[in-house]
């Protein structure tokens, strides 16, 4: 049940458009597939870093100060609520077009990897989201192997999603289809985050 919950939350998070998503989209549509894969690999490296930090940091925090567990649950719930409401609020705005530069992205595979890693690590919301994820699913007495497995699940889900994204967006017709369905995807993701946020903030465990 623990890993299924982690998988469910992280799947929604991975599929929700954000800086990492649009970076990989841009690299895919304006550069070579090798560049796009390198950018995705950099993003996955960042996900691994956030996952390990969230797992080890939150676990140590719970052991040193159990009261922090409840505080983090409330803060995480509020953050998830805010994220969901923000997605729904954005639906009130006119849908913007995805701007794709005419020129090719001048990146080496190593440069694309670094860009993907930096984009992931530079987003401070990632740290709070991962902390919220572990606070919502991992009780203070959870075995350490469950935390390690959760990190593996996070990286695996992200890898599958980004691999599929790069393969699909190699065809520009798919990019157009995504743009048309973007509002529905954001509405669904917003509702899911609000549900998780309410459950997290109001639960007594």
Q: What is the pLDDT along the chain (205 residues), one digit of tens a residue?
A: 778 888 888 898 888 877 788 788 878 877 778 999 999 999 999 999 888 877 776 556 666 776 766 776 787 778 778 878 887 887 776 654 444 443 444 678 999 999 889 888 876 567 667 877 777 777 767 777 888 898 999 999 999 999 999 988 877 777 677 667 777 877 887 888 788 788 777 876 6
Instruction: Specify the number of domains making up the chain.
Output: 1
pLDDT in the model for residue 168: 86
Q: What is the pTM of this model?
A: 0.67
pLDDT in the model for residue 40: 95
pLDDT in the model for residue 127: 66
HSE-CB of 21 using CA atoms within 13 angstroms? 12
HSE-CB of 135 using CA atoms within 13 angstroms? 32
Cα 8 to Cα 200: distance, rounded to the nearest angstrom:
14
DSSP states of the chain as a string?
A: -HHHHHHHHHHHHHHS--HHHHHHHHHHHHS-HHHHHHHHHHHHHHHHHHHHHHHHHHHHHHHH-THHHHHHHHHHHHHHHHHHHHHHHHTTSPPPP----SSPP---HHHHHHHHHHHHHT-HHHHHHHHHHHHHH--TT--HHHHHHHHHHHHHHHHHHHHHHHHHTTSHHHHHHHHHHHHHHHHHHHHHHHHHHHHHHH---
pLDDT in the model for residue 133: 78
Question: What are the phi and psi torsion angles at 17 (to 5°)?
Answer: -60, 135
The alpha-carbon radius of gyration of the chain (Å, integer) is 18
Domain span at 158: 2-202
Q: Is the distance from CB of 192 to CB of 12 less than 8 angstroms?
A: yes
pLDDT in the model for residue 102: 37
* Angular region, 46: left φ>0, alpha ψ -120 to 50, beta rest: alpha
């Amino acid at each position: 049940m623990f890993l299924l919950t982690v998988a469910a939350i992280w799947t929604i998070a991975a599929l929700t458009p954000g800086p990492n998503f649009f970076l990989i989209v841009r690299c895919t549509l304006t550069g070579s597939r090798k560049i796009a894969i390198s950018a995705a690999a950099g993003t996955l490296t960042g996900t691994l870093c956030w996952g390990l930090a969230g797992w080890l940091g939150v676990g140590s925090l719970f052991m040193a100060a159990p009261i922090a567990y409840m505080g983090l649950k409330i803060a995480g719930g509020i953050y998830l609520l805010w994220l969901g409401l923000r997605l729904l609020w954005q639906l009130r705005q006119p849908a913007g077009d995805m701007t794709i530069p005419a020129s090719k992205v001048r990146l080496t595979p190593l440069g694309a990897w670094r860009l993907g890693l930096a984009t992931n690590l530079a987003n401070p919301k990632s740290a709070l989201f991962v902390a919220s994820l572990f606070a919502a699913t991992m009780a203070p007495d959870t075995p350490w192997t469950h935390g390690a497995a959760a990190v593996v699940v996070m990286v695996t889900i992200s890898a599958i999603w980004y691999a599929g994204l790069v393969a699909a967006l190699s065809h520009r017709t798919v990019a157009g289809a995504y743009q048309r369905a973007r509002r529905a995807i954001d509405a669904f993701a917003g509702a899911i985050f609000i549900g998780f946020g309410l459950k997290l903030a109001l639960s007594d465990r």
